[in-house]
Chain A
């Protein structure tokens, strides 16, 4: 066999370069398509925000039928798309997505729980209509939202919802905060958006699974002591207008606020924690800065938190 039939045995600089390019190209393709890195280290902004998941035909049919029934009940026009099962990488949340598009240009998106087939979110796209008569008052908005939730089979958390006018949707936003065993869940609940005349504009349902509550949670005094220690260590106590509120027992979904080395994916399970709210002047002349820290009710470790902008 002639030597030129074995190019690998007779490398030339150009071929080496091309080989290197080929390997780099393959690596780029793999990195872009598999999302394996996101799985390994959790989600960051460099990764895709959602990822496709496998779904059987029967699962898709069930989801589609449920979506069509919901659309019919709400008067959402248009034909449903094929069902896509995806994972929201930031919230580690799986859902079945169905989109509706009508000939007149109406569009809506529905995300359903793959297990219960209840809506996780409904989004009726398109600009708000200021000409719609404002026939639903602030006092009447919760009742209207309750009726819509009942019609869709969405269980609502106990207690009174909060109601506010949302400029961005030019409608009412009615919010129930979820509770478990009498304790508030920081980032879970049901949010229902109403148009001024009481039609459903959209909704969100957040119901994160929870870890068992610790058998012997640390005391509020211990949480306050830990919080005071952090505040002293970080120099907050010496700042103008420093305040530290009493700890409140809540369920939280840990984040990387206190440990930025962790990924941006939220923790998969709720954990019981003492939430402590701090306030102090961080930037001279500014309004007081607010920080919340979540101390694990089990061992006092910091599970996450947040700060105001």
Chain B
């Protein structure tokens, strides 16, 4: 009599392997070609206020996981690893970009604070970023940029332009469609716990089949933002966030 116990084990192992491969494949398209950078200013929200917080790391983790799912190759930085020189050395090649930090219209322009591990933090400005993405006559567009900061999503902010994303929103008729470009930021003062709740829902929706515009509005109306946090977006509503080669933005100069 032939016993197939070994066969059953092999079959179980194969089934398990197949299931895991299937899970890995459904986790999103894989590509090593599209660089993404994720930064969180942990020091500003912990050391500089004398209180620990899990929010900076959670924000970073969510963005890394989402970028990876969408098909980017993310690298992430915080504390002493998140310096202005690190950000500026990478930003020219970033097709996706995420920063959780302080942001404002500083005397040097719109920008955000790099961490650096101390409370005298350098500012990274939109002008510096644009210079890194500037090609003769145009700005090289990123696909997906999230400025998880105060102010950088305001109408007056030129931060999206630095990444080659014009401050236009695509319409139901397809007007203003900007291809594979989407910017998410916040108008005015944003509260971190509300941002965390909002972005949890935004990323969850964006990584479960929704386009980025739908993900924005789903998250907006299913998050309590009564302290006044106001997320804003520009770009193509129907864009799903997956990477594409950069395209020129001639109106972003």
Residues of A within 8 A of B (CB): 2, 4-5, 7, 15, 18-19, 21-22, 25, 28-29, 44-45, 49, 88, 90-91, 107, 109, 111, 121-123, 125-131, 164, 166-170, 175, 177, 186-189, 191, 193, 202-204, 206, 233-236, 255-258, 260, 264, 282-287, 289-291, 306-309
Given A49-B204, A308-B189: 4 more A-B contacts, CB < 8 Å: A2-B1, A164-B230, A188-B224, A309-B103
Interface-facing stretch out of B46-54, B75-83, B124-132, B134-142: B46-54
A-B contact count (CB 8 A): 188
The docked-state distance in angstroms from the alpha carbon of A266 to that of B176 is: 39
Q: Is the CB of A290 within 8 A of B189?
A: yes
The docked-state distance in angstroms from the alpha carbon of A154 to that of B191 is: 28
Chain A residues within 8 Å of B121, by CB: 283-284, 286
- A145 vs chain B, min Cβ distance (A): 14
Q: Is the CB of B222 within 8 A of A121?
A: yes
List the A residue with the shortest CB-CB distance to B105: A287
Q: Is the CB of A282 within 8 A of B213?
A: no
Contact A286/B113 with A175-B226, A260-B54 known, Cβ cut-off 8 Å:
yes
Interface-facing stretch out of B11-19, B26-34, B158-166, B244-252: B11-19
Q: Is the CB of A19 within 8 A of B9?
A: yes
Number of interface residues of B (CB under 8 A): 75
Contact A169/B9 with A121-B222, A127-B170, A283-B119 known, Cβ cut-off 8 Å:
no
- A101 vs chain B, min Cβ distance (A): 12
Q: B197 on the interface (CB 8 Å rule)?
A: yes
The docked-state distance in angstroms from the alpha carbon of A234 to that of B53 is: 14
List the B residue with the shortest CB-CB distance to A19: B9
Q: B93 on the interface (CB 8 Å rule)?
A: no
Chain A residues within 8 Å of B5, by CB: 4, 7
Q: B86 on the interface (CB 8 Å rule)?
A: no
Chain A residues within 8 Å of B103, by CB: 309
List the B residue with the shortest CB-CB distance to A235: B50
Q: Is the CB of B226 within 8 A of A189?
A: yes
Q: Is the CB of B213 within 8 A of A127?
A: yes
Q: Is the CB of A186 within 8 A of B227?
A: yes
Chain B residues within 8 Å of A206, by CB: 224, 226
Residues of B within 8 A of A (CB): 1, 3, 5-6, 9-10, 12-13, 16, 19-20, 44-45, 48-54, 58, 61-62, 100-104, 106, 113, 119-121, 123, 148-150, 155, 169-173, 186-187, 189-197, 200-201, 204, 213-214, 216-218, 220-222, 224-227, 230-233, 237-238
Option from B155, B191, B201, B233 in Cβ contact (under 8 Å) with A308: B191
Q: Is the CB of A255 within 8 A of B193?
A: yes
Contact A306/B192 with A177-B226, A236-B50 known, Cβ cut-off 8 Å:
yes
The 9 closest A-B pairs by CB, nearest first: A234-B50, A25-B16, A127-B237, A7-B5, A18-B9, A282-B48, A260-B54, A306-B193, A187-B224
Chain B residues within 8 Å of A109, by CB: 218
The docked-state distance in angstroms from the alpha carbon of A123 to that of B53 is: 32
- B147 vs chain A, min Cβ distance (A): 10
The docked-state distance in angstroms from the alpha carbon of A260 to that of B114 is: 23
List the A residue with the shortest CB-CB distance to B120: A284
Option from B12, B48, B54, B194 in Cβ contact (under 8 Å) with A306: B194
Chain B residues within 8 Å of A129, by CB: 171-172
Chain A residues within 8 Å of B148, by CB: 309
